[in-house]
């Protein structure tokens, strides 16, 4: 009898010790578990900062504004003042046949009145009479005048059109820059959330493995004391092996997703970097607000004004409108007037003289007009066709963007209820497994029920984390659809 009591007490001590070890942590407690000293946390914001700082696509996009500035500079080069000089002389048989020196300064202006100042020195025995300058003026002559197109080119010409199109090109390039950066940020954010889910999944499976190990240990103890059949140890072992396989699979997926995240990590000298093994994502303990602060109408209005695709399409229409104006201008006849005063108001010796409009001047007029205008009319029609095509494309893209925003906003708004229901299911599965483990401690549990509840809890937790990451992907996708610059990430550190 005494021996029986000693055995009974020993069995009781074995069961009482591990009964306190199996504890089902809530999802919040599990995610809040502090990482080991060797691990480092990386939040989405810090990851985005790395991408924005050194990614080649971002650096490539940052070159676009400078390219646009150089395009404007190139177009404005047509208005640069121009200094010209030419010298033509002939000496033969000890005679100076002619010596003609001509210098001029032209100053193009936005309004097509182009001033010109020239100084000529012409001498020789056989000069053309039109080039002759009196000897009393030391063979020098100063002229100042203007040229004015009163027909074609009065309202717009090729050089003014080029400047206007270059200015619009700068707006298009700014929009293209935002689109390029938004595209890489969208891809990076989605891969970050894949990495986030892989790590969360690993932690959940690892927790489930810990429980399975403890259950297997208890079943072996029960078997050693003859409380359960050998088949129960086999079932517990199978469950444990399944969890071990799941954990290894989750670890592989976590490492794989980390390698995918390394695609976005670059050093300052364009050297590719790898994600350190010690880095893990910073897990959220609470759900973020699922619906963005902006309303659907405000997002739609923002997109209609600032969406990169619409800005580019509108800019393309603006460039075509300038081209259309130039094509219409070319339908007019060309009629250019030139007027130059001679030795007025500054003479050949540098002295000031009285200005007289009808004395000492040169005047010219030139006229040109194609009789059929086939080239000009064809160019205008081609431009108008391009405008119609661009208008159709703009209207279609506007419709697509509005529908994309509405669909994304609807998905994000309804995800709140889905997450609430899923969280409730997780809490219920946690209670059920707690109850089964309590029954295990009292010797009244069924191993099949424990395994079933553990599988359901793990499945529901993984679904919840998957849903949370899908919601975050939907958030950045909504900002992408609306064309929000930098997908609403904080980029003030770049200023």
The answer on pLDDT for 164 being more than 50 is yes
What are the pLDDT digits (tens) for 449-468?
888 888 899 999 999 999 99
The pLDDT of residue 222: 78
Beta bridge partners of 341: 144, 361
Which letter does DSSP use for residue 104 in this model? Answer: E
Per-chain mean pLDDT for the chain: 86
* Band (166; pLDDT cuts 50, 70, 90): very high
What are the pLDDT digits (tens) for 293-315?
678 899 999 999 999 999 999 99
The pLDDT of residue 135: 82
CB 418 within 8 A of CB 474: no
The pLDDT of residue 443: 66
Distance CA 324, CA 376 (A): 11
The pLDDT of residue 29: 65
The answer on pLDDT for 360 being more than 80 is yes
| Cα 340 from chain centroid (whole Å) | 55
Nearest to 216 by CA among 233, 241, 204, 228: 233
CB 232 within 8 A of CB 252: no
CB 212 within 8 A of CB 239: yes
Cis peptide before 345 (omega within 30 of 0): yes
Strands 279-281 and 40-42: parallel
CB 393 within 8 A of CB 261: no
The pLDDT of residue 289: 47
What are the pLDDT digits (tens) for 246-299?
999 999 999 999 999 999 999 888 899 888 888 899 877 555 545 556 788 999
The answer on pLDDT for 24 being more than 80 is no
Pick the most confident of 20-24, 34-38, 224-228.
Answer: 224-228
The pLDDT of residue 12: 34
Q: Where are the beta strands (DSSP E) in 163-300?
A: 279-281
- What is the pTM (predicted TM-score) of this model? 0.85
The answer on pLDDT for 317 being more than 90 is yes
Distance CA 276, CA 281 (A): 12
Indicate the range of 26-35, 114-123, 170-179, 419-428 predicted with least confidence: 26-35
Distance CA 181, CA 58 (A): 6
The pLDDT of residue 448: 79
CB 486 within 8 A of CB 181: yes
Indicate the range of 29-33, 72-76, 93-97, 484-488 predicted with least confidence: 29-33
CB 106 within 8 A of CB 78: no
The answer on pLDDT for 177 being more than 80 is yes
Neighbouring C-beta atoms of residue 235, cutoff 10 Å: 16
Rounded to an integer, the average pLDDT of 347-359 is 72
* Band (217; pLDDT cuts 50, 70, 90): confident
Over pLDDT 90: what percentage of the chain?
A: 59
The answer on pLDDT for 447 being more than 90 is no
Distance CA 316, CA 48 (A): 31
Distance CA 206, CA 203 (A): 5
What is the CATH code of the structural domain delimited by 18-73+169-320+392-494? 1.20.1600.10
CB 121 within 8 A of CB 139: yes
* Domain spans in the chain, listed from the N-terminal domain onward: 18-73+169-320+392-494, 75-159+328-383
Residue where the block lists tokens 């050998």: 230
Does 349 or 338 have the greater pLDDT score? 338
């Amino acid at each position: 009898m005494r021996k029986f009591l000693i055995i009974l007490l020993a069995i009781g001590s074995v069961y009482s010790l591990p009964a306190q070890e199996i504890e089902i942590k809530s999802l919040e407690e599990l995610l809040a578990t502090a990482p080991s000293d060797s691990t480092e946390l990386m939040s989405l914001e810090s990851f985005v900062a790395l991408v924005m700082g050194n990614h080649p696509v971002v650096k490539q996009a940052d070159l676009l504004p400078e390219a646009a500035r150089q395009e404007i500079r190139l177009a404005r080069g047509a208005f640069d003042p121009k200094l010209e000089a030419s010298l033509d002389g002939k000496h033969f048989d000890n005679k100076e046949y002619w010596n003609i020196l001509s210098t001029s300064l032209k100053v193009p202006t936005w309004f097509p009145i182009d001033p010109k100042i020239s100084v000529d020195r012409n001498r020789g025995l056989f000069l053309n009479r039109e080039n002759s300058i009196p000897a009393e003026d030391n063979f020098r002559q100063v002229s100042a005048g203007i040229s004015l197109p009163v027909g074609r080119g009065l309202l717009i010409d090729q050089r003014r059109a080029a400047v206007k199109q270059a200015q619009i090109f700068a707006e298009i390039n700014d929009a293209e820059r935002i689109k390029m950066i938004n595209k890489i940020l969208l891809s990076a954010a989605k891969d970050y959330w894949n990495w986030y889910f892989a790590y969360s999944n690993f932690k959940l499976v690892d927790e489930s493995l810990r429980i399975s190990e403890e259950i297997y240990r208890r079943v072996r103890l029960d078997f050693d004391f003859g409380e359960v059949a050998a088949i129960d140890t086999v079932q517990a072992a199978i469950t444990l092996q399944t969890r071990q396989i799941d954990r290894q699979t989750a670890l592989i997926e976590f490492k794989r997703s980390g390698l995918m995240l390394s695609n976005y990590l670059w050093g300052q000298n364009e050297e590719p970097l790898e994600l350190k093994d010690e880095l893990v994502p910073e897990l959220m303990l609470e759900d973020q607000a699922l619906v963005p602060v902006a309303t659907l109408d405000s997002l739609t209005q923002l997109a209609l004004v600032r969406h990169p695709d619409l800005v580019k399409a509108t800019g393309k229409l603006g460039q075509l409108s300038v081209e259309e104006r130039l094509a219409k201008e070319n339908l007019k006849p060309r009629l250019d007037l030139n007027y130059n005063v001679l030795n007025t108001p500054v003479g050949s010796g540098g002295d000031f003289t009285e200005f007289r409009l009808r004395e000492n001047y040169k005047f010219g007029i030139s006229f040109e007009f194609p009789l059929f205008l086939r080239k000009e009319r064809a160019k205008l029609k081609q431009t108008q066709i391009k405008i119609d095509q661009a208008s159709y494309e703009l209207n279609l893209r506007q419709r697509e963007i509005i529908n994309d925003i509405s669909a994304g906003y609807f998905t994000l708004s309804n995800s709140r209820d889905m997450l609430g229901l899923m969280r409730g299911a997780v809490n219920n599965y946690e209670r059920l497994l707690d109850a089964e483990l309590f029954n295990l401690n009292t010797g009244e549990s069924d191993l099949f029920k424990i395994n079933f509840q553990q599988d359901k809890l793990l499945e529901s937790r993984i679904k919840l984390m998957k849903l949370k990451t899908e919601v975050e992907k939907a958030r950045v996708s909504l900002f992408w659809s609306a064309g929000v610059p930098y997908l609403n990430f904080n980029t003030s550190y770049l200023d």
